[in-house]
Each structure stands twice: as structure tokens, then as C-alpha cells.
């Protein structure tokens, strides 16, 4: 079989070496080598030119959980299955990041950090968890992992998704009709939604305004789900208490962006979950061998819904 790999220059050698180790029967080329008709193309944010030159025969693998950048390519073939990574070590990392963010907010560590800088010794009063609802927005594999990690801490947990789901220890809400009720009980909102036509710009002034006064937004999904100016406006107005952001509309975050210096915003450089190469390649190899055997695989992207 023939495989074409397209990846950032910094990571491509590691990916190729792992693919050669796990799939020794494959002939592996790297973009922009001239491989006009590979069986499989493995890509991460490929240039439009790739699919002008290359015609994948069996499948396109997206080397990450988010497929929005790939689906936006005008040159992407419409008749070749797109397969996304499922977890591959990312769910655990996402759950760690979200749990840390929620506990940091609940225990008011941001306040203590400010107090330390200003040499202020001021213990905060204890807060009952029963009054501190946490909402997870998006209940795919990553969102479910986040919710499961938070269950043992005893917060009133809620989850919202496009379609109705059932999760142990989590009150679930579905669709536009139940969005306001879900947001109204979320003192911390953890966004784990995919970027789709339905979700881009979803967290804007009106929806963010439905959160309780003093609520905190944690976005570890996609930057385009949040409207930056509306988030800043609600923070400055005092309706929102803070935001923890790992993803942004433009990455790297531009030097003049207000997020850098806003006192109520904590940013990290898209590190909530990084792709684990060995786990990812092992998953891809299993799926390629299943396809070669004529068997079905999971993770095939629904292009209508965008994930």
C-alpha cells in the first residue's frame, strides 16, 4: 500500500519513523514528494495544492481531533472518506486541563495569585459545591471524558449536546431549546464543542449573558466558537468573572490582542491536549488494516454535521 504523509516540518520525521515501524508493509512518502495516487493520505492542515496534485484512493486521515480546517479546503475530494483521530491520548489530557481549570476557579486560586503580588493576606470564605454548577458543552469523546473526570469532585454537573445523551452523574440538556437552561446553571462553562457551521460564534454576547453573574468560561475546543469582543465586553462589565482560554480565532495569538493583558483572562498556547504520535499511529494502523480487509472503521467524519 502507498501512504502520503503531510505534517509540519518539525514533526514529520517522528511521524514517518513511527509509521514505518508500525506499518512496515507500507510505502511511505512525505509531502511534497510527487505521489499522485496514494491509497491513504495522512494530513494536518494541508495546503489546498495537496489535493490538486494528489488523488487518495481509499481514505484521508486527519491527524488530530478537529477536522474543521480540513473540511474547509475547497480542493478536498468529496467522494473519499475522511477519518479523524479518536482520542489517541487526547481525552486524558483534556480531562486533566479541564479539571485543573475548574478546581483553580472553585478554590479561587486566581484571587490568591493577585493577593500574593499585592502582599495581601486574605483567606477566602468556603464555598459550597452545591451552589457551584459546572457545565460541559459538547459531549463527544472528549467532553464525556471531561465530565467523567469531574464527577468524583461532587460538583452539580450538566452537559449539553446537539442530540440527547445520558451520562452517569451528569444532568444532560440537548438542542437550542434547552441551551438557556443549561447555561443558567453553569458557574463554570467548559467548552468542548467541535467547530461547525452551527457552533461557530455560538458563545456571543447573548448566550454568554445567560451564564450566572461571575461565571467563568473555559474554552479548550476551537477559538471560533467564542466571539472575542463579546467575551471581553462581558468581563469588563463584570457579568463574567473570568476566562481560561487555550484556543483562539488566530493562532499564535497576535501581539496586540487584548487577551494577553486582560486581568481576568488566563491563556495557554493550544496545549490542553497534544497529539501523542505513537498512540495516533497505532490507531491509524488498525484502521488501515481493517479497510484493507474490507471491514468498517469508526471515526468516519459526517461532512454534513462537520465532525
Catalytic residue among 104, 144, 187, 222: 222
CB 168 within 8 A of CB 154: no
Look at phi and psi of residue 295 and say left if phi exceeds 0, alpha if psi is from -120 to 50, else beta. beta
Q: How far is the C-alpha of 64 from the C-alpha of 70, rounded, in Å?
A: 10
Beta bridge partners of 119: none
Residue 273: other Cβ atoms inside 10 A: 23
Residue 262 known to be catalytic: no
Residue 222 known to be catalytic: yes
Q: What are the two backbone dihedrals, phi and then psi, of residue 56, each rounded to the nearest 5 degrees?
A: -70, 140
DSSP characters over 27-80: EEEETTS--SS-SEEEESS--HHHHHH---SSEEEESSS--HHHHT-TTS-SSS
Q: How far is the C-alpha of 104 from the C-alpha of 88, rounded, in Å?
A: 27
Catalytic residue among 52, 270, 290, 305: 270
Annotated catalytic residues are 222, 270
Amino acid at each position: 500500500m502507498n501512504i502520503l504523509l503531510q505534517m509540519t516540518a518539525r514533526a514529520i520525521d517522528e511521524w514517518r519513523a513511527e509509521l514505518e515501524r508500525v506499518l512496515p508493509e507500507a510505502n511511505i512518502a512525505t509531502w511534497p514528494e510527487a505521489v499522485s495516487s496514494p491509497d491513504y493520505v495522512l494530513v494536518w492542515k494541508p495546503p489546498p495544492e495537496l489535493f490538486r496534485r494528489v488523488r487518495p484512493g481509499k481514505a484521508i486521515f486527519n491527524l488530530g481531533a478537529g477536522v474543521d480546517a480540513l473540511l474547509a479546503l475547497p480542493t478536498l475530494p468529496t467522494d473519499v472518506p475522511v477519518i479523524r483521530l479518536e482520542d489517541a491520548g487526547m481525552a486524558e489530557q483534556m480531562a486533566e486541563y479541564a479539571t485543573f481549570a475548574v478546581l483553580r476557579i472553585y478554590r479561587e486560586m486566581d484571587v490568591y495569585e493577585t493577593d500574593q503580588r499585592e502582599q495581601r493576606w486574605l483567606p477566602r470564605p468556603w464555598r459550597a459545591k452545591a451552589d457551584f454548577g459546572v457545565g460541559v458543552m459538547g459531549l463527544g469523546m472528549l467532553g464525556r471524558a471531561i465530565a467523567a473526570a469531574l464527577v468524583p469532585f461532587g460538583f452539580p454537573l450538566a452537559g449539553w449536546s446537539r442530540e440527547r445523551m445520558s451520562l452517569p452523574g451528569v444532568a444532560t440538556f440537548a438542542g437550542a431549546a434547552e441551551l438557556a437552561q443549561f447555561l443558567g446553571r453553569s458557574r463554570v462553562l467548559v467548552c468542548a464543542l467541535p467547530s461547525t457551521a452551527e457552533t461557530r460564534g455560538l458563545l456571543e454576547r447573548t448566550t454568554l449573558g445567560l451564564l450566572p453573574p461571575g461565571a467563568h468560561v473555559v474554552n479548550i475546543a476551537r477559538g471560533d466558537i467564542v466571539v472575542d469582543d463579546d467575551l471581553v465586553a462581558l468581563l469588563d462589565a463584570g457579568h463574567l468573572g473570568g476566562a481560561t482560554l487555550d484556543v483562539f480565532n488566530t493562532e499564535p495569538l497576535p501581539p496586540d490582542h487584548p487577551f494577553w493583558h486582560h486581568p481576568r483572562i488566563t491563556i495557554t498556547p493550544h496545549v490542553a491536549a497534544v497529539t501523542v504520535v505513537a498512540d495516533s499511529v497505532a490507531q491509524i494502523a488498525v484502521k488501515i488494516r481493517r479497510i484493507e480487509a474490507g471491514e468498517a472503521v469508526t471515526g468516519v467524519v459526517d461532512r454534513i454535521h462537520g465532525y
